[in-house]
Structure formats: C-alpha cells, structure tokens
Structure 1
Amino acid sequence: MPDQPVSLRACIANELPYLRRYARAVTGSQDLGDTAVREMLEAIIAAPDLLDEKTMMRLGLFRVFHQIWKPTQGNSGSGGFIANLPVSAREALLLTMVEGFSCAQTAEILKTTQDQVRATIALARQQLEAQLHASVMIIEDEAIIAMHLRKIVEGLGNTVAGVARTRDEAISLAREALPSLILADISLADGSSGIDAVKGILENFSVPVIFITAFPQRLLTGERPEPTYLITKPFEPEVVTATIWQALLVHHETQPGLQAA
C-alpha cells in the first residue's frame, strides 16, 4: 500500500492473515474471501479516511471490510443448513467466537446493537446444536490436547472417529473411517507433518479440515494455498466449537449429495 505511512502499512499487514481467515470462513470460499479482502484494501488505498485513526486497527479493518463486502443473503435455493442460518448469524458467531471481538465491538462492525448480536448468536447455536452431527477425526500427537479436543467434539453431540499421531496413521485412519471433519495439528510425533497428512487424505476424498497449531505463520504466508479454517494454540473451547460449526455448514452446503440427504 504505497500511499500509506510505513507504520500504518505494517499494522495492516499484521492483521491481514486473520482478516483473510475470517473472510474465507464467512464466505465459505478461499477465492471469494481473498477477493473481498483485496477489494477492501483497494478501497482503503483510494480513501484512507475509511480507517478512523481513533479506532483500534483490528476493529477498524473489520469494520471497513463489512462496509465493502456485500454478502448474498441465503443461498441458491438448496436445502442445506446454510439456507436456514442467515449470513448475519455466521458473521456474529465468527466475530465473537473465532476473532475474539466483544459483543459491543461486533455490534459496531456489523452496525447493529449488542442485544441483536446476542440474540443472533443464541438462535444460531440452537439451530446448529439440533442439526449438526459429524464423525470427527483428530490428528494430534499430544495426548492432553487430543483429550481436550475429544471432549469438545463429543460435547457437541459428535463422535470421534479416532486419533492419529503421525502422518501415516492419519492417512490410514482417514481411509478406514471416512470422517466428515478433521482437526489437524501441524507438527506430529515422529517429526512428520500434519500438512502432508491432510494433503494425502484430500487426494482420496473431500472433507473439511481445521488446522489447530501453535505456528499459524507456517500456514498464513500468502505464498501458497492456505487453509480456510485455522485455530491458534492455546485455544478456547468456544473458538473450536464455532469453527467446527462453520466448517460443517460450509461443507454440507457445497456438497450436492449431502444437501439431498
């Protein structure tokens, strides 16, 4: 962004990986999400005063994003879960549970009230808990973390297909269990890579993947295809919960066979 001071460019650059993560999740597409972020940056270059100097940079960027991005309400008419969960509900869930904004900040970003944000989240959670059930596979070599993730997954009414500690174990387990969602760490027990494990799994069938890692910078480089769903360790259960819901919703909506089920 040549028209901006170096310090401002650096501040924006620091926030871009997280804004891209949010944009990809709320649109359900890496391409759509990245396009929306590019349009936001172009708008800021053209009109720098869109960013209020008195507002926290992170909050300001998300607010500008929502000024520029105009979501399509509903969907193409399919019977998937997303058709029953308004875009506003996805926005509120992601902003509060994944991006860590307060209800007051989320209301400011979405130009609504705190009461409306709370009501939207409560309704969305009721709908999701009643409808979303999945077989979840965990790729994690640390036993305590794997147990924590299992508790979260089962607490949502889902089942755990199994836990893999290495790349080879993960590929073998996925081939046998055919999970409907994968939670994957990056660094595994024998020095192998969760990234390579997921790549091998996705060569055989389509399944949504949520990376949970202490090293998000290894994935959010902007130099290669990046994950739509990424959670940073240490994580809060609410973050994992919201991201599981979002991943299952988007996958269900984009798979014709699932929509007809």
Structure 2
Amino acid sequence: MEQYTGHFMQHLPYLRRYARALTGTSGRGDALVTQTLEWYLETESAQGLSRSALYRHLNQLQDKDSVPPSVAPYHPVESALMALDETDRRLYLLVNLEDLPVSDAAAVLGLAPEEAMERLTHARDRVRARLTATILIVEDDAIIAYDLAETVRGMGHVVCGNAATMDEALTLAAEHRPTLALMDIRLADGDNGLEVARELRAQRFLPVIFVTAFPDDLAKHGLEHLGPVIPKPFTRDQIEQAITRAVFMPQPEDARETAHPH
C-alpha cells in the first residue's frame, strides 16, 4: 500500500493544480483531489494509474458534482477560458497548464487526436482574442500618436485608429467599438479630449487614459472621474502599466449601468 500511496503523492501537486483550475476554487479543487485519493486507495484497479488517468477521474467527479466552475471576478484569463466550451476549456488546461501532450490530453477527454488539435487551435485563438484590447488613440501630434501606437502593438493589442479631432474620434469609436482610448486633451481644430471622453461615456462606457501636457485640466473642471492621467513627456513603461490596469481592472458600478442600461 505504501508504494501506491507514494505513487499518488508524486502526482499530488499536479492534481491539485488541475483540480483548482477545473473547479475555479481551491476549496472545491482540493475536495476533488481528496475524493480521488480515497478512490485510489480503496479501488485496487485504480492503484498505479498514470497521471492522465487521474485527471480523467477528476473530470468525472466534477461532472458528477454538476456545479459549474467558478471564476474570480474580473480575472482576464479565467474569464477568457470560461467563454470556451467546457471540453475545450479542459483541453486548454491539460495542454497549457499541465503540459500534457495533445495526444494524452485527447485520451483524457475521449477525443481523437486530430479533433483535439483542431479544438485546441480554436481555443487558443479565442483566448488570445479575448485577452487582446482594441485601443483608440486620440492624438493630433503624429509623432506622439505613432509612438503610442507602437507601444500598444508591442503589447500585443490592436490599434483601431488614430483621431485628431472629436468627430474623427466618435466616428472611429462607433465603427470599431474599442475597449480603451488613449486621449490627448487639446486636439486639432480646437477640440477638447474631455468633451470627447464625456460624449463617449454618454453613448457607452469606454475606459480612457488621458495622455496630455495639461494634466491639471481634469481637476480644474472636476472631471477626474473620467480617467487616469499620464503627463507628457511620458515613458513607454508608464503607458504599458496604465493600459494593463485599464484593460484588466473591474468596471465601476456606473460603468456597468451605462454599458447595460435597464
């Protein structure tokens, strides 16, 4: 019996990691692993099974439990995975988290290797798309706009366009429905980025990062709630950190109301 217990313990860290990802919580994940250990020690045919077979048993317990997996609020990767079909989510976890060969992951899930590879490719594409922000740049200085665009693309996000005026910004926003805007305050033709941000907020909530040489303008007008400010001149690190926070931070309550009116 000790040799079988030792065999199971070798797999324990991996089983706990997968079970926690499978269920979405450490408590439920550990409970599945405990049930698996009890089954393993009590069932002679289970003793000495491979890690893949133990993953399969965890899946069966999760299906029997019939409780949908939890997702941490506003966790971008978990949210992206939850958008997948459950089989595809498990396939993604087994290959990307547990480092199983696709053929082994396919066996765990009862899929043909060719189907598993096709589904994995589709799942990876969907996760990548969910983690990619579409960013609108509103800046009338061509050199600064170019620098911002290069920073955005270097992070793996998409630039949907650059606007120098309010009309251009609203047109691009309506056409591409970006997930974030990098906004100068003083624009071409005398337009004002604060008005652009307020109009976009009235139409639908859009997170805005103000990149401006006039950082005090928001405070002067009592509009600090419209978004964070990065003063010019800026560094790429400042832009990258601000984008990451804006893309992955939870929306405030009023934002969800604006985005989904009753």
Relative contact order: is structure 1 or structure 2 higher (C-alpha 8 Å, sep ≥ 6)?
1
Instruction: Report TM bin, short chain.
Output: 0.3 to 0.5
TM-score by length of 2: 0.47
In our comparison, the structure showing a higher alpha carbon Rg is 2
Structure with bigger helix share is 2
